[in-house]
Amino acid sequence: MTKLLFYTLHKERFVFSLSTTFKFVVAGILWVVLSDLALFIFHTPGTDHFSLFHLGVLKGICFVVAMGIIFFFILQQHRHAQTTIDRQDFFRRNPLPMWIYNLETMRFLEVNEAALIMYGYSRKEFLSMTVDQIRPTEDLSRMQDAIGQLQRGHRLLGQWQHIRKDGTLLHVEVSAYSILYNNQHAGLIMSNDITNQVKAEEELKIAKMEFERKLLDRTAALSLVNKELEVRIREINTTNDDLIDLNTLLLNNNRTLAVQSSTQLREKTEQIRRLMEQVSDCVWSFDLTGKGDDHVSRAALTFFGVGKDQVMDCPNFWLSYIAAEDRSNVTEKLGRLEHDHCAEFCYRIAAGPEQRKVRQTINIIHDDEGNPARMENFVAMVPETA
């Protein structure tokens, strides 16, 4: 298309140059012949050569002036014609949809090929329509305001909605100019389809709003979980403090047993028994020397659903309650108990209608000579969120 346009323009310029040259040659020849003939006819006998010279100079000046005037009018005519052709080519060949319409009747006066393609109408259909027929009803009031501004000579830029022949809604960016077309006050419109851009922006906006909503929901959920964790942590800390106090009491009791009398030992044992009855945590303590007493809290018996005799006869009774998938981990840590002197692990137990997760701590207490004296067990429930 570009090569064809270049060839057409080059050909038009060549024809104009050739025709102009031909006109000048013909006019020059006619001038020379006719002017010399006029001198021959109208000169009087006896005219001196000086007078003939002046007549020849005057004839040449008249020729140059006449040719200059003719050339001026030819150029003006060609420039006007070329400007008209260039404007028409710019309008018709423009890749953006363009049209011209009467600002008073709103009827289309001219449309280019790009407009026919984008809007789906034929040229005949377009020229029988008015501009409000390609706009949605909700934009008509705004369109009237825009036409009023064009009638006052203003240039307009903005985004609009247009309707194709098949009813498809288009988002377009419009440039509007006020012009005089065939002695009619008209508007020149250039339309750029930005439908895909608008859809992309709307999708991005929706995605952003959805992301912000999810972020707020997630933040609220995390805040709620954080509050629940704070409550559970306070509960665990309280339980740990109770266990520490109990552990301290047991340690002090073990150290005292070695030096106290049997009466004092019975009193302390009774005190521990009452404490075991009252404590709300799962605790049991076994003597490893064969000289002391074993203790188990009522909470432990209730939690595991066993009797005191069963616990005393089998110190490792709790192993049978461990869920199968957790036993290997517990067994591994128990294997290191002799070396580490303490162990802590979490596991699930099947005591009751459903599995519950617990945390168990085992401490080996040594006597003054460094030999194992007691084994203390503490079991606490683990919150579901832990």
Please state, in angstroms and rounded to a whole number, the distance separating the CA atoms of residues 109 and 37: 56
- Inform me whether the pLDDT recorded for 2 exceeds 60: no
Confidence of residue 119 (pLDDT cuts 50, 70, 90): very high
- For residue 191, count other CB atoms closer than 10 A to its CB: 22
What is the pLDDT, as a whole number, of residue 71?
Answer: 67
What is the pLDDT, as a whole number, of residue 3?
Answer: 45
CA distances from 3 to 7, 15, 88, 275 (A): 6, 18, 18, 106
Where is pLDDT greater, at 39 or 95?
95
What is the pLDDT, as a whole number, of residue 56?
Answer: 66
3-state secondary structure the chain: CHHHHHHHHHHHHHHHHHHHHHHHHHHHHHHHHHHHHHHHHHCCCCCCHHHHHHHHHHHHHHHHHHHHHHHHHHHHHHHHHHHHHHHHHHHHHCCCCEEEEECCCCEEEEECHHHHHHHCCCHHHHHCCEHHHHCCHHHHHHHHHHHHHHHCCCCEEEEEEEECCCCCEEEEEEEEEEEEECCEEEEEEEEEECHHHHHHHHHHHHHHHHHHHHHHHHHHHHHHHHHHHHHHHHHHHHHHHHHHHHHHHHHHHHHHHCCCCHHHHHHHHHHHHHHHHHCCCEEEEEECCCCCCCEECHHHHHHHCCCHHHHHHCCCHHHHHECHHHHHHHHHHHHCHHHHCEEEEEEEECCCCCCEEEEEEEEEEECCCCCEEEEEEEEEECCCCC
- Inform me whether the pLDDT recorded for 78 exceeds 80: no
What is the pLDDT, as a whole number, of residue 53?
Answer: 62
| Bridge partner list, 2 | none
What is the pLDDT, as a whole number, of residue 312?
Answer: 80
- Average pLDDT over the chain reads 79
Where is pLDDT greater, at 42 or 311?
311
Rounded average pLDDT over 216-232: 87
Tell me the residue type at 26.
V
Tens-digit pLDDT profile for residues 341-383: 888 888 888 755 667 888 888 888 888 888 888 888 888 888 7
What is the pLDDT, as a whole number, of residue 98?
Answer: 92
Structure tokens, 255:
């150290």
Please list, in sequence order, all residues whose beta carbon lies within 8 angstroms of the beta carbon of residue 208, skipping any fewer than 6 positions away: none
What is the pLDDT, as a whole number, of residue 183?
Answer: 87
With tokens 């579901």, the residue in question is 384
Rounded average pLDDT over 167-191: 90
- Inform me whether the pLDDT recorded for 16 exceeds 70: no
b/e sequence 220-258, b meaning 16+ C-beta within 10 Å? eeeeeeeeeeeeeeeebeebeebbeebbeebeebbeebe
Please list, in sequence order, all residues whose beta carbon lies within 8 angstroms of the beta carbon of residue 333, skipping any fewer than 6 positions away: 343, 344, 345
Rounded average pLDDT over 251-277: 62
- Inform me whether the pLDDT recorded for 203 exceeds 80: yes
Confidence of residue 285 (pLDDT cuts 50, 70, 90): confident
Confidence of residue 296 (pLDDT cuts 50, 70, 90): confident
b/e sequence 17-31, b meaning 16+ C-beta within 10 Å? eeeeeeeeeeeeeeb
Please state, in angstroms and rounded to a whole number, the distance separating the CA atoms of residues 367 and 378: 20
Confidence of residue 65 (pLDDT cuts 50, 70, 90): confident
Where is pLDDT greater, at 231 or 274?
231
- Inform me whether the pLDDT recorded for 6 exceeds 60: no
- Inform me whether the pLDDT recorded for 1 exceeds 50: no
Confidence of residue 5 (pLDDT cuts 50, 70, 90): very low
| pTM across the whole model | 0.39
